Structure 1
Amino acid sequence: MTDARGPLTHALAALARVQTARIDDEIAARLSGGLPDVALENADPATIAAFRARAEAELETPWPQPRAHDAARFHLDGDRISWEHPAFARQHRLTRVAVLASGTGEDRWIDETLDGAIMLSEQSSWCWPAHDDTRARHGSVLATVTDPYVDLGAGEAVGQLAWLDHIAGDVVEARYPGFRARLAHEARVRVLDPFVARRDWRWIDFGGRVNNWNPWIHGNVIAAALQFLDGDERARVVSLAIEGMDLYVASLPEDGAIDEGYAYWWNGACRLVEALDLIAHATGLDATGEIAAVRETIAFPHRMHLGEKWFVNAADGQALQRDPQPWHALHRAARRIGDETAASFAALHRDPSMSAVAESEGLGRVARGIADADWLAAGPGADPLPERTWLPSTEMLIVRGATGSAAGLAFAAKGGHNDESHNHNDVGSVIVASDGVPVVVDAGRPTYDARTFGPDRYDLWPMQSQWHGVPFVRGAGQPAGERFAARDVVAGDREISMDLAGAYDVPALAEWRRTVSLDGDDVLIDDAWRFDEDGDEPTEVRFVLAGEVTLTSGSARVVPLSGAAPVALTWDPDAPATLEEQLLEDPMLSHVWGEHLTRLSIDVSDRTEISVRVRHNEPMKERR
């Protein structure tokens, strides 16, 4: 390690009762164990049954095969999912059969595990094509096998083989001698050796901007080091991973907020606490509860919950939980630090009649959750639904009528700036939920392609401020960049106020004061603004609505999704308004919102203030 020590290193050193300068030696001396034991004889029966049913159905079918020309498509036409979908499907199948091979010892599952693992070992690259730097370094649109790039995909692959070797290596090796040596070789040449040899991995800090790649990859590297290395090599890799994760821990705000949004918590902060779990197992040093930001981030999921499967989303996060999440990982972390509220919220998602884990979580997460006795026995759980959550690091306030109930209206409003992780230009945006279901919404992200993280990102409508609940000022939306930010943000008990003028490149805009409050049972959005000179360009206050919308003079009635109570947005009828539908053909968006979203635009060009009230339009009907 270098001498630049962060909160994780200091916490580990304090636990070990040594100086930080000695923590490398202390880690090396304490690394006595590999990966945690998995008692598959106590595995969740529902998960085993589900894995077996899917595995038997595909037993005589070809394994999914990612193809070379699909790998190259990212560079040719921007498509990334044509390669990713079969690659992911193959790894999901391998997870299923590895669990069955380990749990049953049956030859058919051992054979399947061998085939899947060797196919993965013979895949040209574990790096997802969208991440590979081979074109920049070698001018190639295909992976350079002699210069592997360590990314999220390579991390997931090496982590999968580490856990596979841990739970099923013995039974496969007994039938196919040499199997385990092959896995260890591939882990070394594709990930472990490059990780140590090449220290310019941009995902460690992205030039000073740390995001979820850091703990996600480092956690998988730690798992592989514990399984495939020993002695000084193991200590070196684990120490480097701790050093790298220290940057992520240092970037976590004290309030535990994730500016990438709730959906990214699972593959960011959650990956961190899972990595800390591995470190604690291998060294006896558990830093999870020793760092305030880590303790606070374990509360982040329940603080973002609106109701049912709906969550406050920001940036590229999604409002509707789409895939199974590893609630067992949250449950385990909350138990370790004694956060009963977070543990109970996680337990709310444990249904004994359903699988306790899902193969899409990855084999490491499956192995940790499938036989976790506390998780399997968890329930029924409770939803805290706090009345007020204020996250100063992201300048987000969430307010609902009462603690513990999703009934009625709730709002979330954020300040922030336009260079956050997975940024959308959304300073000042507002979300309103009716009975826990978003009705004034943030659309979230589309399917990723070559434009998503390149210079054309803001050509995509979901990333533009024009399709967020923020003003459109004199013909201009908000530009991207950290300098475009909210100013003078003040959060009260039931309201938040901020100046949005700094979020626009409109020189004549002197101030735009937005105040969002819970006014009795209603949500009130008050806007007042001032220009230094006259102008002819249109100015509008905009909101994005989910559900069926009917516009009349001074009012828009919305029948929300999921059977929530209808709401009405009302304003001065002298301010004309229009509706524009955005058809949703991208399944990443239509899965959440259905066939369309609707933008409400209120023309305020002839005035300097307006109030929009959101209220329940009629009593809640029975949910569909």
Structure 2
Amino acid sequence: MRIYLILFFFLSSLSFQGLLGKELKLLTGTFKQEDLKLNLSRDKSWVPYPSYSDRKAWDQLIAPFREEVIAKGDKALDYQWQVVKATDYLEYERSGNRGMMEKPMNENCTALTNLLLAELAEGKGRYIDQILNGTWHMTEMSTWSLSAHLPAFQSSKRSLPQERTHVIDLMAGDVGSLLSWIHYFFRDSFNTINPEISLRLKQHIQQRIIQPYLDRNDMWWQGFELKGNQLVNNWNPWCNFNVLTCLLLIEDNPDVQLAGIYKTMTSVDRFIDYIKKDGACEEGPSYWGHAAGKLYDYLKILALATQNKVSIFDKPLIRDMGEYIAQSYIGGDRWVVNFADASAKGGGDPLLIYRYGQDVHSTEMMQFARYMTDLGGKGADFKPSRDIFRAFEDLRCFPQLQHTQAALPQNAFKWYPETQFLYLKKGGFFFAAKGGFNNESHNHNDVGSFILYQDQQPLFIDAGVGTYTKKTFSDDRYSIWTMQGAYHNLPQINGTDQAFGKEFKAENVLFLPEQNKFQLDIGNAYPKTANIEHWNRSYRLTADGLTIEDEFKIKNPNQSNMVHFLVSKEPQINKGVIAMGDGLAALHFNPAQFVASYEAIPQDDPRLSQVWGERLYRISLKAKSIKSTGKYSFIIKKAK
């Protein structure tokens, strides 16, 4: 039955090309199912980590972090496994609060991860009973999925777990993967206690992860049955990686395993085909580790299980996707280019970046990884999470990272022509701007917006996103201020802000590298009611600063245009000049054209305040006259 459920998928002809553009099929176009069958290891010999009983190998592998791993394991010996109550799931419906359910679930996973690593580090059996308690507790749960994700996959469309329905979201997949590794390492130990333990664990992984994946094609992240405005984002490689891990470690039926793995390859091709071919991550650096980084994890474990025979690490797109994280780094206090929902601080996980760089032969990535570990003089951190595969891989690559030279990318610009991201560096400035459209993954209505840093300090910014709630991914998303064009570095035209939808996009986008100039028409990013014939905006960066020029034509305008700028420090407004960045630079404008004002925006959301402090500021330049045609010019200069 399981084979038949999956085979129909490969015989169908889904019109995916029409949805996402030209298909590459880097995996299934390169490797057929027979290729996978020929090269797939039929036992667990592909696993690159020592067996639990190989104490000498584990002592060597975990040596740099052994004390801290043991300390965390000892702390978890007395951990009380938390019950996720029915009201915790319901809280998401009642108030939009996700944390009520996610907090105990995350803490349980953290404790289980720490116990697993401590037992592998010590090997004396001290943690086995508590690992058993944690795994047994997981099998007692109604679902491994998060309350915020359940409605999308259950027929009830509710956040309370639905009887006899198992769905795969990010958390369920992570738990399935974690438990698969626990089964792999401790099955014999569990069998010594009672064979029912490992048998039960295996059955639950099959019932909750493997079987739903084989049976269903309607989970949107699979990319098989997309509807309307649905996108293929980081969920795809993330969930497929977890399913692949479970299939490799748990599934014993070779035919089911083979068909299931090839289905994951077909699904991951949907993600690769969706990604712009310039390699940029439209979700931003904060999501790189979940998007390109998770694709890397998927490709890595697939390569390991096939003796590196089923591998696409040689494809330029995979390398470009990796190097995006280094290119997007600004500097200073870990500032990064943060369009969409990404945070303005980050830079990525150095050990992940290093491993990725190794496999795609990117010196840029490996040197950037070492640069990140050297920040603050602390060296590389070992921060294991429920994503235990990454923890194991971190242990393997850590010694190699120590012998790598630290460096940042030295290129003066980076242009992503399909995603329409541009980064320019000159005279101590780091400028980034975007074109694109207003239905990108984790979208903000921000076509044509920009950010500008001087001497690695923020001047003009993108706020990012606050703490996720029910509203964040609902029809009310654009009632949140951080998502709106009015709180980006954009004009409000004829009283109208940009609109959401794939049809609201940049046109005539052009980068002129010899002039350090980026230009585009953003008029089509606004609704028809604004009566915009065109709004041509250009940016030109020099060693002295940035010049912004707007030229527009509006049919029968009835409201004044307003040009907004979001800044990180309180500005000081004088006639035609606005000082900003604690005196770093000044914005010059024509006082005959505009009335200037600014407002403070309190940051009471911890996800924003931990980046920006207590408040941000929005500068508003209101046109003094209503005109159907006109030109505006704004010049940002270094302070003298």
TM-score by length of 2: 0.88
Change (3 A) 1:51 1:513: same
Task: Write the letter of the residue equivalent to 1:306.
Answer: I
Number of residue pairs matched? 599
1:463 aligns with 2:488: no
Shift in Å at residue 617 of structure 1?
2.1
Shift in Å at residue 360 of structure 1?
3.2
- Farther-moved stretch of structure 1 (4-13 vs 308-317): 4-13
Change (3 A) 1:477 1:296: same
- Farther-moved stretch of structure 1 (243-252 vs 454-463): 243-252
| Contact kept in structure 1, 2:27 and 2:265, CA below 8 Å | no
**What corresponds to 1:601 in structure 2?**
620
1:272 aligns with 2:295: yes
1:120 aligns with 2:138: yes
**What corresponds to 1:622 in structure 2?**
none
Once residues 198 and 578 of structure 2 are traced to their aligned partners in structure 1, the CA distance between those partners, rounded to angstroms, is: 64
Task: Write the letter of the residue equivalent to 2:10.
Answer: T
1:30 aligns with 2:53: no
**What corresponds to 1:525 in structure 2?**
548
> 545, 567, 572: which is aligned to 1:545?
567
Task: Write the letter of the residue equivalent to 1:514.
Answer: R
| Contact kept in structure 2, 1:356 and 1:370, CA below 8 Å | no
> For 1:373-452, what aligned pairs fall within 5 Å after superposition?
373-401=398-426, 408-452=428-472
Q: What secondary structure, in the 3-state scheme, does the structure 1 residue paired with 2:571 have?
A: strand
Find runs of 4+ consecutive structure 1 residues off by over 6 angstroms: 5-8
**What corresponds to 1:360 in structure 2?**
385
Shift in Å at residue 156 of structure 1?
0.9
Deviations 1:149-189 (A, max 9, x none): 11111111111112233344444554554432222111101
**What corresponds to 1:282 in structure 2?**
305
Q: What secondary structure, in the 3-state scheme, does the structure 1 residue paired with 2:621 have?
A: strand
Q: What secondary structure, in the 3-state scheme, does the structure 1 residue paired with 2:319 have?
A: helix
Shift in Å at residue 282 of structure 1?
0.9
Task: Write the letter of the residue equivalent to 1:327.
Answer: P
| Contact kept in structure 1, 2:461 and 2:568, CA below 8 Å | yes
1:74 aligns with 2:92: yes
Task: Write the letter of the residue equivalent to 2:567.
Answer: L
Once residues 26 and 279 of structure 2 are traced to their aligned partners in structure 1, the CA distance between those partners, rounded to angstroms, is: 19
1:330 aligns with 2:350: no
> 503, 507, 518: which is aligned to 1:483?
503
| Contact kept in structure 2, 1:42 and 1:371, CA below 8 Å | no
**What corresponds to 1:294 in structure 2?**
318
| Contact kept in structure 2, 1:135 and 1:141, CA below 8 Å | no
**Structure 2 residue runs without a partner (length 5+):** 1-8, 15-21, 51-57
Change (3 A) 1:7 1:576: closer
- Farther-moved stretch of structure 1 (158-167 vs 426-435): 158-167
**What corresponds to 1:584 in structure 2?**
603
| Contact kept in structure 1, 2:353 and 2:369, CA below 8 Å | yes
| Contact kept in structure 1, 2:351 and 2:380, CA below 8 Å | no
Deviations 1:452-495 (A, max 9, x none): 11110101110011111110112111110111111111101111
1:508 aligns with 2:531: yes
> For 1:61-210, what aligned pairs fall within 5 Å after superposition?
61-133=79-151, 137-138=155-156, 140-175=158-193, 177-205=195-223, 206-207=226-227, 209-210=231-232
Change (3 A) 1:38 1:341: same
Once residues 361 and 438 of structure 1 are traced to their aligned partners in structure 2, the CA distance between those partners, rounded to angstroms, is: 34
| Contact kept in structure 1, 2:495 and 2:530, CA below 8 Å | no
Once residues 380 and 339 of structure 1 are traced to their aligned partners in structure 2, the CA distance between those partners, rounded to angstroms, is: 13
Once residues 458 and 343 of structure 1 are traced to their aligned partners in structure 2, the CA distance between those partners, rounded to angstroms, is: 38
**What corresponds to 2:329 in structure 1?**
305
Once residues 25 and 556 of structure 2 are traced to their aligned partners in structure 1, the CA distance between those partners, rounded to angstroms, is: 54
Once residues 151 and 85 of structure 1 are traced to their aligned partners in structure 2, the CA distance between those partners, rounded to angstroms, is: 16
Once residues 68 and 378 of structure 1 are traced to their aligned partners in structure 2, the CA distance between those partners, rounded to angstroms, is: 51
Once residues 401 and 544 of structure 1 are traced to their aligned partners in structure 2, the CA distance between those partners, rounded to angstroms, is: 22
Once residues 345 and 611 of structure 1 are traced to their aligned partners in structure 2, the CA distance between those partners, rounded to angstroms, is: 37
**Structure 1 residue runs without a partner (length 5+):** 15-19, 403-407, 619-624
Once residues 10 and 212 of structure 1 are traced to their aligned partners in structure 2, the CA distance between those partners, rounded to angstroms, is: 17
Shift in Å at residue 293 of structure 1?
1.7
- Farther-moved stretch of structure 1 (286-295 vs 83-92): 286-295
Q: What secondary structure, in the 3-state scheme, does the structure 1 residue paired with 2:127 have?
A: helix
Q: Percent identity?
A: 27
- Farther-moved stretch of structure 1 (607-616 vs 212-221): 607-616
Change (3 A) 1:171 1:495: farther
- Farther-moved stretch of structure 1 (40-49 vs 118-127): 40-49
Shift in Å at residue 547 of structure 1?
2.3
Once residues 168 and 381 of structure 1 are traced to their aligned partners in structure 2, the CA distance between those partners, rounded to angstroms, is: 39
Change (3 A) 1:70 1:612: same
Deviations 1:247-300 (A, max 9, x none): 111122221011111111110111111111111111132433343321211111
Once residues 379 and 204 of structure 2 are traced to their aligned partners in structure 1, the CA distance between those partners, rounded to angstroms, is: 35
Deviations 1:602-623 (A, max 9, x none): 11242622222222225xxxxx
Deviations 1:558-605 (A, max 9, x none): 236xxxx72222212332211111111111111111111110011124
Task: Write the letter of the residue equivalent to 1:25.
Answer: E
Once residues 144 and 614 of structure 1 are traced to their aligned partners in structure 2, the CA distance between those partners, rounded to angstroms, is: 56
Once residues 571 and 550 of structure 2 are traced to their aligned partners in structure 1, the CA distance between those partners, rounded to angstroms, is: 23
Shift in Å at residue 378 of structure 1?
4.5
Once residues 65 and 79 of structure 1 are traced to their aligned partners in structure 2, the CA distance between those partners, rounded to angstroms, is: 17
Deviations 1:12-51 (A, max 9, x none): 664xxxxx6xx21221232215463224333344533333
Change (3 A) 1:10 1:57: closer
Once residues 59 and 397 of structure 2 are traced to their aligned partners in structure 1, the CA distance between those partners, rounded to angstroms, is: 11
Shift in Å at residue 340 of structure 1?
1.0
